[in-house]
Structure 1
């Protein structure tokens, strides 16, 4: 389809880059962050640029003589055209001071070639006629994203420029664009410096049945109620199950009776009101099980482009499929997944709030309180996460009689959950207490429950 057209290139710009380097070897520092050898259309120009990089890597001078010698050692001087060709490139340079401009032309034509090649690969995907159209679309999107991500390298930035950009963005009319996302739990938000920070990866971890899914869904609903667009990747529960939980929480109707449709007239009216409130929330659920991180990233980018996106929920981390390229090593796969989630948070500039399982080591300790080392298949999760929060409930490990013997002056903590922030990259650690309304599948701020407990 594309073979009858010459791929985009600019030979004069390529020669000007190499010629400028031969005249002023120190100028390599101006272009090495934006150019790679593969960006050059002509193979002989790639060889010359590689020779310059090799010399720089050994802290040797870059000029016409040293580059010719390096090419000769690699047996590439003759294919390049000999020293005569190097001299021609030097003589053809308008001014080595303009090397950055020449390099940007070479970079731009390289990107255009990559787009053409990606278009050909996408055409081949289309001709495969795969029955899985979503997989085909994800592969196509990943080809285009790969071009952009390759150009995602960043260079040193002056603090003055960083602060100027911050002030400029902070003064934009749309102040919510940079604002933290509030979770609905005041003390939790205070510990995080006002809420869940954009580009952060936050992990909520607990043993099974302690309410980690409930907590993040409650946070998602609170964020959406504040006008934030929320995307939920639910790899464990169906969209219908999440909807029923939200209905139970919003209408204060017993979740078990709601599933069985054993509700009275008053509860039915509360449900109708709750459906009206929840239907207006900008909350989107993808309940595809066993997704790969590539599929999730593609869907998140699409949601951000089409609807906007302020918060991503992942429930839960251990159910994400790895790439399969780690010889079955699940720990390494989890490392790849956690790094990709952090990358997704930064690329999309949104908080990513992910649930994680904890290992059984907790059950073997006398106090059962979770530690960072309990994160399952974890070393990299702890490293990549900006915030790690644990859910701990004493009433799951100690019955009332044993509690009274151990702590005779303290009230039994029935349904009280400790939310322990064990890691906070940019702030303080600590803990808060929430009350778990088991019948309504909802965590509440403890002071709110104590002031106004809900009766059935």
Structure 2
């Protein structure tokens, strides 16, 4: 006699509904799919990517699916009798419904070759259940009235995005032959050949631009360094180059400096006015003249600054909204990763939280179609070494920052440690990781009294 089937825990009643609604699932399709997989290794191979183990509504079916795929992975033939023995040896036979239940399922096979069809049906029902669950969670958040509205909107969008990401079948992302994409590749090569200058956005540092050919859409570029090395200055240099000088819409998310400070630094860098003159208000006639020329350029720039957010979900929501208002958004700068919190659910450790943020940033760069420059703090590793030079491994709470980044640029100034250094006034932009090219050390001149770095040739 078979063990009664157990459904996955479900909440069948929508909040406020007057009647209980049955969750979408098809028990016959689940059994027929498993029966097809029990009798054909080929069916297991065809179906394992079309349906996930947690797509099944019934717990027993999830356990059986896992066991079938495990046999297939190990090169063992599909056979329901051997499957029962496997489950008995692993202590999972009861969880799978028992031997008689598995035998009962094996009798559900109608005809060969129907596995993929049933897999699609099972997967579709699972997506509908997840959509219902996401909707119920969003409804509960709305009724609870807890949290900032931007965070709630971001979490709601994330719920739907998670369902959408899981809705695509493996067939939607199958192997492609060169002929399938050759025309697009040749078009991009032709376009690159006809385009003058860089393929991507310029940084304003000639040698860095020559090395990278510009910052490309979808890239995550990490600029890292110890406190006081000039991370924010480099980031603002790149933002100024694009927003003010090239009129590329640019978003600058600052978690460290208020908007007023950033704008003052912009005026200092663009006008070549000593920052301490601006802060004290003691301006020379030349300073005033330079400022009068710089301010209109800054005012007219498509530079969008936000210094209010502290959670990644809120930052994500703000950037998506900005992209919808300005579809030509070309660059995003976030200063800096380790000051961000996820918002809402908290991972077990800070390292996991930072890892999730950095991997989400990479996905966001691809979604928005822009390069994202994310600043990061280094640990004390450089100060423990005699030459004080930073390494990629010095990323604090690094988690997966190095792995997620397409490029890692480390900032180092010898005169920050040794005032009388023969290299006083110089800064190294160490390209420690470059997914699409070679690494190098780029030397720039540190004009920190103007809140900027420039090419050595400009000094």
Question: Is the alpha carbon distance of 1:152 and 1:202 closer, same or farther for their aligned partners in structure 2, counting shifts above 3 Å?
Answer: farther
Asked if 1:356 is matched to 2:379, the reply is no
Q: Distance in 1 between matches of 2:136 and 2:100?
A: 30
Structure 2: runs of 5+ lacking an equivalent: 1-13
User: Structure 1 residue 90: deviation in Å?
Assistant: 1.0
**Would you say the 8 A contact 2:352–2:399 is kept in 1?**
no
**TM-score with structure 1 length normalisation?**
0.79
Q: Distance in 2 between matches of 1:179 and 1:148?
A: 32
User: Structure 1 residue 349: deviation in Å?
Assistant: 4.6
Q: Distance in 1 between matches of 2:49 and 2:247?
A: 39
Q: Which residue of 2 aligns with 1:124?
A: 140
**Would you say the 8 A contact 2:37–2:43 is kept in 1?**
yes
Question: Is the alpha carbon distance of 1:142 and 1:380 closer, same or farther for their aligned partners in structure 2, counting shifts above 3 Å?
Answer: closer
Alignment counterpart, residue 106 of structure 1, candidates 95, 99, 122: 122
Alignment counterpart, residue 231 of structure 1, candidates 251, 256, 272: 251
Alignment counterpart, residue 297 of structure 2, candidates 261, 265, 277: 277
Question: Paired residues, what number?
Answer: 430
Moved more, 374-383 or 166-175: 166-175
**Would you say the 8 A contact 1:68–1:77 is kept in 2?**
no
Question: Is the alpha carbon distance of 1:80 and 1:304 closer, same or farther for their aligned partners in structure 2, counting shifts above 3 Å?
Answer: farther
Q: Distance in 2 between matches of 1:40 and 1:169?
A: 44
Q: Distance in 2 between matches of 1:221 and 1:4?
A: 58
What secondary structure is seen at the aligned counterpart in 1 of 2:109? helix
**Would you say the 8 A contact 2:34–2:105 is kept in 1?**
no
What secondary structure is seen at the aligned counterpart in 2 of 1:49? helix
| Aligned pairs (5 A) from 1:238-317 | 238-263=258-283, 267-268=287-288, 270-288=290-308, 291-308=310-327, 309-317=329-337
Q: Distance in 1 between matches of 2:353 and 2:446?
A: 34
Question: Is the alpha carbon distance of 1:61 and 1:173 closer, same or farther for their aligned partners in structure 2, counting shifts above 3 Å?
Answer: same
Deviation per residue, 1:398-423 (Å, 9 max, x gap): 445xx5xxxxxxxx544222212223
**Would you say the 8 A contact 2:24–2:125 is kept in 1?**
yes
**Would you say the 8 A contact 1:14–1:45 is kept in 2?**
yes
What secondary structure is seen at the aligned counterpart in 2 of 1:376? coil
Moved more, 357-366 or 218-227: 357-366
Q: Distance in 2 between matches of 1:293 and 1:80?
A: 51
User: Structure 1 residue 214: deviation in Å?
Assistant: 0.7
Asked if 1:326 is matched to 2:348, the reply is yes
Q: Distance in 1 between matches of 2:299 and 2:168?
A: 38
Q: Distance in 2 between matches of 1:138 and 1:99?
A: 38
Question: Is the alpha carbon distance of 1:108 and 1:153 closer, same or farther for their aligned partners in structure 2, counting shifts above 3 Å?
Answer: closer
Asked if 1:445 is matched to 2:445, the reply is no
Q: Which residue of 1 aligns with 2:396?
A: 376
**Would you say the 8 A contact 1:433–1:445 is kept in 2?**
yes
User: Structure 1 residue 57: deviation in Å?
Assistant: 4.1
Q: Distance in 1 between matches of 2:249 and 2:442?
A: 26
Structure 1: runs of 5+ lacking an equivalent: 404-411, 451-456
User: Structure 1 residue 237: deviation in Å?
Assistant: 0.8
Q: Which residue of 2 aligns with 1:415?
A: 425
Q: Distance in 2 between matches of 1:313 and 1:50?
A: 43
Question: Is the alpha carbon distance of 1:152 and 1:443 closer, same or farther for their aligned partners in structure 2, counting shifts above 3 Å?
Answer: farther
Asked if 1:216 is matched to 2:235, the reply is yes
Q: Which residue of 2 aligns with 1:429?
A: 439
Deviation per residue, 1:144-179 (Å, 9 max, x gap): 222234457976634626743752773899999x95
Asked if 1:167 is matched to 2:185, the reply is yes
Q: Distance in 2 between matches of 1:239 and 1:162?
A: 48
Q: Distance in 1 between matches of 2:99 and 2:137?
A: 31
Alignment counterpart, residue 205 of structure 1, candidates 205, 224, 229: 224
User: Structure 1 residue 138: deviation in Å?
Assistant: 2.6
Asked if 1:143 is matched to 2:151, the reply is no
Q: Distance in 1 between matches of 2:164 and 2:280?
A: 50
User: Structure 1 residue 428: deviation in Å?
Assistant: 1.2
**Would you say the 8 A contact 2:232–2:335 is kept in 1?**
yes
Q: Which residue of 1 aligns with 2:175?
A: 157
User: Structure 1 residue 11: deviation in Å?
Assistant: 5.3
User: Structure 1 residue 246: deviation in Å?
Assistant: 1.7
Question: Is the alpha carbon distance of 1:215 and 1:160 closer, same or farther for their aligned partners in structure 2, counting shifts above 3 Å?
Answer: same
**TM-score with structure 2 length normalisation?**
0.79
**Would you say the 8 A contact 1:45–1:80 is kept in 2?**
no
What secondary structure is seen at the aligned counterpart in 2 of 1:219? helix
Q: Which residue of 2 aligns with 1:27?
A: 43
Deviation per residue, 1:263-310 (Å, 9 max, x gap): 467655654553433344333322135x34444344444443443444
What secondary structure is seen at the aligned counterpart in 2 of 1:90? coil
Q: Which residue of 2 aligns with 1:407?
A: none
User: Structure 1 residue 45: deviation in Å?
Assistant: 4.5
Q: Distance in 2 between matches of 1:43 and 1:394?
A: 62
Question: Is the alpha carbon distance of 1:82 and 1:56 closer, same or farther for their aligned partners in structure 2, counting shifts above 3 Å?
Answer: closer
Q: Distance in 2 between matches of 1:324 and 1:15?
A: 38
Question: Is the alpha carbon distance of 1:326 and 1:44 closer, same or farther for their aligned partners in structure 2, counting shifts above 3 Å?
Answer: closer
